[in-house]
């Protein structure tokens, strides 16, 4: 069942646990284990709201992909994923097991990787990192203005 815009959905909402210990909501597994799963959650949530410009959807999908990929590569795995849609913003929250905050690295020579965090910072209206005993949560607000 689709939730209306403005109604937050999060893997931290306890209802029925899945086999991996993640909570579920409305009979669906709420946890995401890959960037593709996270993008699918976003696609399902966007399906029931107003039409959006492709560039807006692309920016949101890129932010989701980068945050989840970084949690998998550098944070010990995704421990929580949330998405809240408002009229002019989408708020994405991704939690992982690491208490290390992301950093922008300056490089003198070309290197593979290291571009995701700067992309997130550039595309988002607001980004906050909160460290807690289980790791950290990154909250990113992506503008969806028309």
* Domains with residue ranges and CATH for the chain: 9-143 (3.30.565.10)
pLDDT at 138 over 90: yes
Most confident segment among 48-57, 67-76, 82-91: 67-76
* pLDDT, averaged across the chain: 78
pLDDT score of 128:
95
User: Per the confidence metrics, is the pTM higher than 0.85?
Assistant: no
Q: 142 has which bridge partners? A: 90
* Cα separations in angstroms, 120 against 6, 50, 51: 22, 24, 23
Percent of the chain clearing pLDDT 70 (strictly above): 72
- E strands, 19-124, where? 24-25, 28-29, 78-85, 89-96
Q: How confident is the model at residue 87 (pLDDT cuts 50, 70, 90)?
A: confident
Whether residue 60 contacts residue 90, with contact meaning beta carbons closer than 8 Å, is answered with yes
Residue 40 pLDDT exceeds 90: yes
pLDDT bin (cut points 50, 70, 90) of residue 111 is: low
């Amino acid at each position: 069942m689709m939730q209306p815009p403005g109604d937050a959905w999060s893997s931290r909402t306890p209802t029925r646990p899945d086999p991996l210990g993640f909570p579920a909501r409305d009979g669906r597994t709420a946890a995401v284990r890959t960037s593709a799963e996270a993008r699918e959650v976003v696609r399902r949530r966007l399906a029931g709201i107003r039409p959006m410009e492709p560039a807006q959807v692309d920016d949101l999908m890129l932010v989701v992909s980068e945050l989840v990929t970084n949690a998998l590569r550098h944070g010990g795995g995704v421990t929580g994923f949330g998405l809240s849609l408002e009229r002019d913003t989408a708020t994405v929250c991704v939690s992982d097991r690491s208490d290390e905050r992301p950093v922008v690295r300056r490089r003198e020579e070309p290197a593979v990787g290291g571009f995701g965090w700067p992309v997130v910072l550039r595309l988002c209206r607001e980004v906050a990192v909160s460290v807690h005993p289980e790791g950290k949560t990154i909250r990113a607000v992506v503008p969806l203005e028309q």
